[in-house]
């Protein structure tokens, strides 16, 4: 697509640079070269963006919201090129000819949009899309039919499922008695009218984050089908910087098994490995008004289908051509304003109207705001929105003039109940939380914690206000990727029956690979983490000399803040042969550490869910964690009297308590090995799959759309 000129901010509106609270390193999926997140001073970038004359030259040519309502004819040249070859080539061609306007005019003069689309779709790759679309039709038709028959049919279906009455009963008893009675009587005939979650509901604080009622496993696949659009900024294996990427990959897959039709909408970053980019198919394009002055932008849709999930990538080189998804807020704010609106416009354009739009983190937080403002007159308005908080620390805050300009949102949303924070800033996450029909976060404990001042990252009052629609659903891990029995990155595969022997072999080979003393009897502690302030590394750094007793080895894998990287490098030198600091991002090494270590350290200051402790347990590696967020919800502390539990825990954020937890682990390991071994097997046996959580999400979808 044509690369448009950067928009610049005039001196007057030049944004004040805010420190990006915490930097993330990006690891594009396998085979991708690790891309470091630019932490460069933002001034330069700010200077680059000046909103002035150029804005006029880029005067919006097209339909207001884009999409179906007025899909502009994409430049014929560009379309043809895009349809024939991978995007890049098309973009270059189009850019070279300067583009959008001229070609558009030409195209418009020649034929209406639809015709242009047809030309494009007639080209090779498009055939596939058409076929796919045709294949999708029956499903859609069925869905529509189902929707028309709602809710009676839906309820009937549920009722005819294997154990419907029980399911209904179970749900009913969890609710108020009156409702329960009502439901019981109507369960066989009519869908129970559950009160939709409303913003205006009174504050119920933590009470609302009680476990989501669960429908029994066997009834689930018989629950009514729901279509869900996932909107987020990263997704394994295309691009991943942390847990969000894992969830965006694994949850849609798990939802497909729960009778959901899922489409994942992502930015088409340049850093996505070519092996995926080349398989994407052009699905269409249009111009979209974005900014307050009506400036419009190109939106391309590239599609990739995998494992039953449809991935639609929003293509625009101006926003997504950095080597990294996140750069700095000056660039990221316009980028994700654009992305949020383009995602909705793309759904509209494809005429794919989901029951649920499930948004993730601040990068997609404006979606519910757009939906309830600029998209109210589109078909999409029937969709319910969910916003999931994966990490409250990142919120997308910038001054109001900048966000107002880039988002093009109406003035009334810049009030203190929606986007406004402090005196002159706007907070994109806050706006999304206000407008979403439901809010989830990735563990029940974190759902409660974020309503307190300590964990609330200044949004605690806002979250308390909206607590009626907030709940926690813990993450799982994808057993296709994380399975020690089949994991081809391991030296030796193993399962619960041979873990004790095979783990020793993995440990020995890990020691050999990392240049540590090869000794079965040493207690190996792993740490796989972003090296940032969130992860409790100051505690680790302060007690490490006390941990190094001649019988212990420590293996660190991570990148992040310079001071932590240097600290761990220093310890490697100080304890040669017993400490190994791998300051890098390396998937294979991570897998080998999970398999070869005896214990894994996760002493986080806060942890929304945490995946490393889950992976560790599944690999028979005992977690040592701080009791916060998802760590608290997933690791049951070892009880020496009952000989039960999954790991070692400590509560307050204190170095002494972390040391104590490590020492308790060592004591069990060295003095009661049989108890340790039993814990290893218990951990491997624990159900950490996505299935349970996916069911909870499905229940939430059903609650919202009954």
558 binds ligand ADP (CB under 6 A): yes
Q: How far is the CB of 117 from ligand ADP (least distance, A)?
A: 39
Secondary structure (3-state) at 447: helix
388 binds ligand ADP (CB under 6 A): no
- The Cα–Cα gap between 10 and 449 comes to 41
- The Cα–Cα gap between 277 and 279 comes to 5
Closer by beta carbon to ligand ADP, 82 or else 429: 429
529 binds ligand ADP (CB under 6 A): yes
Q: How far is the CB of 662 from ligand ADP (least distance, A)?
A: 19
682 binds ligand ADP (CB under 6 A): no
- The Cα–Cα gap between 36 and 559 comes to 10
What number of helices (H) and strands (E) belong to the chain?
29, 18
Q: How far is the CB of 436 from ligand ADP (least distance, A)?
A: 21
Stretch that binds ligand ADP, among 129-137, 222-230, 363-371, 586-594 (CB under 6 A): 586-594
Longest Cα separation, the chain: 83
Question: Token pair of 590, please?
Answer: 């991570």
Binding mask 429-458 for ligand ADP (x = CB under 6 A): ------------------------------
Contacts of range 459-465, beta carbons closer than 8 Å, 24 or more positions apart: 459/392, 459/395, 459/427, 459/429, 459/430, 459/433, 462/430, 462/433, 462/434, 463/433, 463/439, 464/203, 464/205, 465/203
494 binds ligand ADP (CB under 6 A): no
557 binds ligand ADP (CB under 6 A): yes
Closer by beta carbon to ligand ADP, 300 or else 610: 610
Beta bridge mates, 523: 552
Stretch that binds ligand ADP, among 52-60, 429-437, 511-519, 607-615 (CB under 6 A): 607-615
Q: C-alpha distances in angstroms, 279 versus 128, 231, 642?
A: 11, 21, 54
568 binds ligand ADP (CB under 6 A): no
- The Cα–Cα gap between 663 and 667 comes to 6
- The Cα–Cα gap between 63 and 575 comes to 65
29 binds ligand ADP (CB under 6 A): no
Stretch that binds ligand ADP, among 182-190, 197-205, 360-368, 551-559 (CB under 6 A): 551-559
628 binds ligand ADP (CB under 6 A): no
Q: How far is the CB of 429 from ligand ADP (least distance, A)?
A: 16
Stretch that binds ligand ADP, among 12-20, 92-100, 427-435, 552-560 (CB under 6 A): 552-560
Stretch that binds ligand ADP, among 37-45, 58-66, 525-533, 682-690 (CB under 6 A): 525-533
Stretch that binds ligand ADP, among 44-52, 393-401, 545-553, 580-588 (CB under 6 A): 580-588
Stretch that binds ligand ADP, among 105-113, 121-129, 326-334, 584-592 (CB under 6 A): 584-592
Q: How far is the CB of 696 from ligand ADP (least distance, A)?
A: 18
Q: Which of 528, 657, 658, 659 binds ligand ADP (CB under 6 A)?
A: 528
Stretch that binds ligand ADP, among 427-435, 503-511, 555-563, 641-649 (CB under 6 A): 555-563
561 binds ligand ADP (CB under 6 A): no
Instruction: Please check whether residue 236 is in contact with residue 266, taking contact to mean a CB–CB distance below 8 angstroms.
Output: no
Site for ligand ADP in 225-264 (CB under 6 A): 242-243, 246
- The Cα–Cα gap between 667 and 96 comes to 69
325 binds ligand ADP (CB under 6 A): no
Taking each helix axis from N to C end, the angle separating 587-596 and 499-514, rounded to the nearest 10 degrees, works out to 130
Stretch that binds ligand ADP, among 41-49, 223-231, 293-301, 526-534 (CB under 6 A): 526-534
CB-CB neighbours of 548 under 10 Å: 16
> Is the C-alpha dihedral spanning 655, 657, 658, 662 positive or negative?
positive
Closer by beta carbon to ligand ADP, 201 or else 586: 586
612 binds ligand ADP (CB under 6 A): yes
Q: How far is the CB of 535 from ligand ADP (least distance, A)?
A: 7
Q: How far is the CB of 138 from ligand ADP (least distance, A)?
A: 37
Q: Which of 530, 618, 626, 666 binds ligand ADP (CB under 6 A)?
A: 530
Q: What stretches of 150-216 show up as alpha helix (H) in DSSP?
A: 152-160, 164-174, 177-186
Q: How far is the CB of 686 from ligand ADP (least distance, A)?
A: 17
Q: How far is the CB of 342 from ligand ADP (least distance, A)?
A: 25
Closer by beta carbon to ligand ADP, 224 or else 629: 629
Q: How far is the CB of 672 from ligand ADP (least distance, A)?
A: 29
> What percent of the chain is helix, strand and coil (3-state, nearest 5)?
45, 15, 40
Report the residue closest to ligand ADP, judged by CB.
243
Stretch that binds ligand ADP, among 253-261, 286-294, 398-406, 582-590 (CB under 6 A): 582-590
- The Cα–Cα gap between 387 and 16 comes to 28
- Environment class of 467 (CB within 10 Å of its CB; exposed 0-12, middle 13-18, buried 19+): buried
Instruction: Please check whether residue 665 is in contact with residue 650, taking contact to mean a CB–CB distance below 8 angstroms.
Output: no
Secondary structure (3-state) at 282: strand
Question: Token pair of 626, please?
Answer: 């701080």
Buried b (16+ CB within 10 A) or exposed e, 284-322: bbbbbbbbbeebbbbbbbbbbbeeebbbbbbbbbbbbeb
Contacts of 310 (CB under 8 A, 6+ apart): 262, 263, 264, 303, 304
346 binds ligand ADP (CB under 6 A): no
- The Cα–Cα gap between 628 and 539 comes to 15
What single-letter DSSP state applies at residue 20?
A: P
Site for ligand ADP in 137-156 (CB under 6 A): none
536 binds ligand ADP (CB under 6 A): no
Question: Token pair of 454, please?
Answer: 């300590």
Q: Which of 588, 601, 597 is nearest to 34 (CA)?
A: 588
Question: Token pair of 671, please?
Answer: 């003095």
What's the length of the chain? 706
Cα Rg of the chain, angstroms = 26
Secondary structure (3-state) at 370: helix
Q: Which of 84, 485, 587, 660 binds ligand ADP (CB under 6 A)?
A: 587
527 binds ligand ADP (CB under 6 A): no
Q: What stretches of 315-470 show up as alpha helix (H) in DSSP?
A: 317-320, 329-350, 366-371, 400-407, 428-435, 444-449, 460-465
CA 342: distance to chain centroid?
18
585 binds ligand ADP (CB under 6 A): yes
Closer by beta carbon to ligand ADP, 310 or else 616: 616
Q: How far is the CB of 622 from ligand ADP (least distance, A)?
A: 16
Q: How far is the CB of 442 from ligand ADP (least distance, A)?
A: 8
Closer by beta carbon to ligand ADP, 99 or else 242: 242
35 binds ligand ADP (CB under 6 A): no
Q: Which of 610, 620, 623, 629 binds ligand ADP (CB under 6 A)?
A: 610
Closer by beta carbon to ligand ADP, 489 or else 673: 489
Phi first, then psi, for residue 539 (nearest 5°) are -65, -45
586 binds ligand ADP (CB under 6 A): yes
Number of residues that bind ligand ADP (CB under 6 A): 17
183 binds ligand ADP (CB under 6 A): no
Q: How far is the CB of 393 from ligand ADP (least distance, A)?
A: 9
Site residues for ligand ADP per CB under 6 A: 242-243, 246, 528-530, 557-559, 585-587, 590, 609-612
């Amino acid at each position: 697509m044509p690369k448009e000129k950067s928009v610049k901010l005039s001196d007057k509106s030049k944004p004040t640079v805010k420190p990006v609270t915490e930097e993330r390193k990006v690891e594009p999926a396998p085979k991708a070269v690790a891309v470091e997140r630019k932490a460069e001073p933002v001034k330069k970038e700010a200077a680059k963006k000046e909103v002035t004359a150029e804005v006029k030259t880029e005067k919006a040519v097209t339909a207001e919201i884009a999409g179906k309502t007025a899909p502009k004819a994409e430049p014929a040249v560009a379309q043809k090129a895009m349809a024939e070859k991978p995007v890049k080539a098309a973009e270059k061609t189009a850019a070279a000819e300067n583009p959008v306007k001229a070609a558009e005019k030409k195209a418009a003069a020649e034929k209406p949009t639809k015709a242009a689309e047809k030309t494009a779709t007639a080209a090779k790759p498009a055939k596939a899309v058409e076929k796919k679309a045709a294949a999708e039709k029956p499903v859609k038709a069925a869905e529509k039919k189902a929707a028309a028959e709602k809710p009676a049919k839906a309820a009937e279906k549920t009722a005819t499922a294997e154990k419907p009455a029980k399911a209904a009963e179970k749900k009913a008893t969890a609710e108020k008695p009156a409702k329960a009675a009502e439901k019981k009587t109507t369960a066989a005939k009519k869908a129970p009218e559950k009160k939709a979650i409303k913003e205006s509901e009174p504050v119920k604080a933590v009470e609302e984050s009680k476990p989501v009622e669960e429908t029994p496993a066997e009834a689930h696949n018989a629950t009514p089908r729901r279509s869900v659009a996932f909107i987020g900024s990263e997704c394994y294996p295309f691009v991943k910087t942390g847990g969000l990427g894992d969830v965006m990959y694994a949850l849609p897959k798990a939802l497909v098994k729960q009778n959901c039709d899922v489409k994942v909408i992502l930015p088409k970053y340049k850093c996505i490995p070519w092996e995926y980019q080349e398989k994407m198919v052009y699905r269409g394009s249009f111009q979209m008004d974005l900014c307050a002055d009506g400036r419009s932008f190109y939106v391309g849709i590239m599609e990739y289908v995998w494992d039953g999930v449809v991935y639609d990538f929003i293509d625009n080189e101006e926003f997504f051509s950095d080597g990294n998804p996140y750069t700095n807020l000056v660039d990221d704010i316009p980028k994700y304003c654009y992305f949020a609106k383009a995602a909705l416009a793309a759904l509209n354009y494809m005429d794919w109207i989901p029951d649920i739009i499930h948004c993730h983190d601040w990068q997609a937080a404006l979606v519910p705001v757009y939906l309830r403002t600029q998209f109210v007159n589109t078909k999409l308005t029937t969709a319910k929105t969910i916003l999931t908080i994966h990490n409250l620390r990142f919120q997308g805050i910038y001054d109001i003039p900048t966000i107002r300009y880039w988002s093009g949102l109406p003035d009334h949303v810049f009030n203190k109940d929606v986007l406004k924070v402090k005196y002159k800033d706007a907070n994109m996450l806050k706006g999304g939380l206000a407008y979403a029909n439901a809010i989830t976060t990735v563990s029940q404990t974190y759902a409660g914690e974020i309503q307190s001042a300590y964990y609330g990252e200044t949004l605690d009052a806002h979250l308390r206000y909206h607590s009626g629609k907030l709940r926690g659903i813990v993450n799982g891990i994808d057993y296709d990727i994380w399975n020690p029995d089949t994991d081809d990155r391991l030296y030796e595969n193993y399962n619960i029956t041979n873990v004790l022997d095979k783990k020793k072999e993995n440990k020995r080979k890990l020691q050999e690979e990392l240049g540590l003393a090869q000794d079965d009897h040493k207690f190996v502690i792993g740490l796989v983490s972003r090296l940032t302030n969130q992860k409790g590394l100051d505690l680790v750094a302060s007690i490490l000399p006390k941990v190094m007793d001649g019988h212990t080895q420590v293996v660190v894998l991570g990148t992040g803040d310079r001071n932590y990287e240097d600290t761990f490098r220093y310890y490697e030198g100080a304890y040669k042969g017993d400490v190994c600091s791998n300051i890098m991002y390396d998937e294979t090494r991570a897998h080998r550490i999970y398999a070869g270590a005896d214990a894994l350290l996760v002493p986080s200051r806060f942890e929304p869910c945490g995946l490393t402790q889950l992976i560790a347990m599944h690999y028979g590696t005992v977690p040592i964690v701080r009791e916060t967020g998802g760590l608290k919800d997933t690791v049951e502390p070892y009880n020496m009297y009952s000989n039960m539990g999954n790991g070692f825990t400590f509560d307050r954020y204190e170095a002494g308590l972390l040391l104590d937890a490590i020492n308790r682990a060592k004591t069990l390991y060295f003095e009661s090995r049989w108890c340790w071994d039993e814990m290893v097997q218990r951990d491997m046996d624990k159900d950490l799959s996505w299935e349970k959580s996916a069911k909870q999400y499905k229940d939430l979808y059903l609650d919202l759309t009954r």
